[in-house]
Amino acid sequence: MIAQFLKQHGEYHDDKTFKDLTTLKMGGHIRHFIVPHSIDDLVIIVNYLKTNRISYKIIGNGSNLVCGESEYDGVVISLRKLDSYEINNDELYAEAGVMVPLLANNLAKQGYSALEFAAGIPGCIGGLVYMNAGAYKGSMSDIVKETLVLKDGELIWLNNDEMDFSYRHSILQDHPRWAIVAAKINLTRKDSQEILDLMADRLRRRKETQPLEMASAGSCFRNPEGTFAWKLIDGIGYRGKKVNGICVSEKHSNFIVNEGGGTADDYLGVVYQIIDGVKEKYGIKLVMEVEKFNC
């Protein structure tokens, strides 16, 4: 019955795993997986699932998730087909599933500045707004004007203040049943080649300092005030630490990578060892930036 309903509103699969859908390449089987065709289909699906008390999880690119190996007996909703965007009067409207690296590059070619700080983050608009992602002293809260949110079955626009942005935080993290559907972003006109050169330089630096070729969820921990997580991890001797298929990257110790065959238990085991070690040595409690699900 669930499958029949979902097939009417999107691309349906019953053979997907979180390993297929996350950049960490780990996680168990998903009972129902659906890619809505449109925002209207997303609203219909979510309201149906809530009415029938069926558990669900909405994901974007899966680049900030660590997922357990047990089967998820609910519905995973992917926003990857909500990938339309348009520019009007120096304002960008982008649906949640638009991939940010591609979008940033396309904007730069048209002489629009906004997303170059995020051009190397392998996530989608929805995920970056949700996390208030940032790099190079910029963050989504600096450029997001309004966010379209599916809240209690209805689509509403929240302005920047209402999003309660702070370091790696938005109001969506306090309301797990809400969902980001789209965002309006303020654009600035700049020289196209200047933007492209800046993004190319930053991508080069990322490749030199981060294990982009490995399966990871990006930075594992938020930076505590006044210091960097990688410095604290180095300070307890965990750079290069390996447990089964999980390794603290030699290139950047705030990246915990899956070298092959690692599980969420392995990953989180290393995470909790680092948290305990840093707390004991420095009196600082590291906070995960990566989201846990079905663990």
**Residue among 95, 116, 146, 289 flagged as catalytic:** 289
Annotation says 168 is catalytic: yes
Q: Rounded to an integer, what distance in angstroms lies between the CA atom of residue 289 and that of residue 295?
A: 16
Which is catalytic among the residues 31, 38, 168, 206? 168
Q: What is the 3-state secondary structure (H, E, C) of 203-238?
A: HHHHHHHCCCCCECCCECECCCCCCCHHHHHHHCCC
Q: Give the C-alpha separation, 287 to 275, whole Å.
A: 8
Cα–Cα dist 162/156, whole Å:
11
- Helix 100-109 / helix 192-209 crossing angle, nearest 10 deg: 150
Look at strands 112-113 and 188-189 and give their pairing: antiparallel
* H-only helix segments in 56-178: 100-109, 125-131
Query: Which residue of the set 78, 219, 249, 253 is catalytic?
Result: 219
How wide is the angle at C-alpha 116 spanned by C-alphas 18 and 161, nearest 5°?
80
* Residue 208 annotated in active site: no
What's the rounded Cα separation, in Å, for the pair 158 and 276?
38
Is 219 considered catalytic here?
yes
Contact 59, 65 (CB under 8 A): yes
Give catalytic residues, as residue numbers.
Answer: 168, 219, 289
